[in-house]
Amino acid sequence: MINHILFDLDGTLADTADDLANALNAIRLKHDLPKLPKEIIRPTVSLGGNAMIKLAFDLEEGDTGFDGIRDEFLNYYRANIAQETRLFEGMEKVLQSLEDENKPWGIVTNKSAWLTDPLMKAMSLDKRAACVVSGDTLEHRKPHPAPILHACKLMHSNPATTIYIGDAQRDIEAGRRAGTKTLIALYGYIDADDDPNSWCADGMISSPLEIKNKLSELCNS
């Protein structure tokens, strides 16, 4: 049986892309650059802030000006962290069902805690999650398995009876290395050039509402 469920945050549990895109475009305007279409920004969201800065400003980590622009971007995002962010459609029903069945759920994200914690609070999820492991909780981040193993420890769960759901290759790699089952959230921030079929997950879902059926399938397989 799968008794514990772990979610990636951005692109899996919550649709954060609009707030992140708005923050990125606000900083582009500040630097006299035109806004980028949100559909161009969206696939980079799960890759983190550095990837978004590279996209929007053609800067690599270590380049002159990179750190300053990244700070501007993240500080703007932090000040406007939940203006448009919402749970993906159907996710509230999934969470409620898990809670009704006494199946603890938690978060494992590469987002830093100074951004994760206020976002979880703003969405009224901070008291509901059995654990929240951020990108700076430990020395390692995904795709290293340590954050998922730490989440299992916090939830008193066995990785073998836990599933991790994410929308990026590093999510699936981290889950597999930790010994959990894995699901790919195809509704998340997956680039057109990505090949989820090559990630070796235990399954894929096109919407949160498919999670319950997938859990049953995996338990019976």
Give CA–CA dist 48/133, Å, rounded.
Answer: 16
Q: Which residue has the tokens 């006299």?
A: 32
Domain boundaries, the chain: 4-15+86-220, 17-79
Share of the chain above pLDDT 70, in %: 100
State how beta strands 14-15 and 86-87 pair: antiparallel
Determine which of 37-51, 146-160, 197-211 has the lowest per-residue pLDDT on average: 37-51
The three-state secondary structure class of 137 is coil
Give CA–CA dist 100/97, Å, rounded.
Answer: 5
Catalytic residue among 10, 15, 19, 171, which? 10
Q: Are 105 and 3 in contact (CB under 8 A)?
A: no
Q: Is pLDDT of 46 > 90?
A: no
DSSP state for residue 207 in the 8-state scheme: S
Kindly report the number of other CB atoms within 10 A of residue 202's CB atom. 18
Phi, psi angle pair for 87, to nearest 5°: -60, 145
Share of the chain above pLDDT 90, in %: 94
Q: Residue 18 catalytic?
A: no
Domain covering 4-15+86-220: architecture: 3-Layer(aba) Sandwich (3.40)
Q: Is pLDDT of 145 > 90?
A: yes
pLDDT confidence bin for 218, thresholds 50/70/90? confident
The three-state secondary structure class of 140 is coil
Q: Which residue has the tokens 């090559």?
A: 198
Catalytic residue among 8, 15, 171, 202, which? 8
Give CA–CA dist 182/159, Å, rounded.
Answer: 11
The three-state secondary structure class of 163 is strand
pLDDT confidence bin for 220, thresholds 50/70/90? confident
Residue 90: exposure state from Cβ atoms within 10 A (0-12, 13-18, ≥19): middle
Compute the mean pLDDT over every residue in the chain, rounded to the nearest whole number: 96
Give CA–CA dist 66/189, Å, rounded.
Answer: 24
Q: For residue range 48-102, what is the model confidence (pLDDT) as tens digits?
A: 899 999 999 999 999 999 999 999 999 999 999 999 999 999 999 999 999 999 9
Q: Residue 193 catalytic?
A: no
Phi, psi angle pair for 193, to nearest 5°: -85, -10
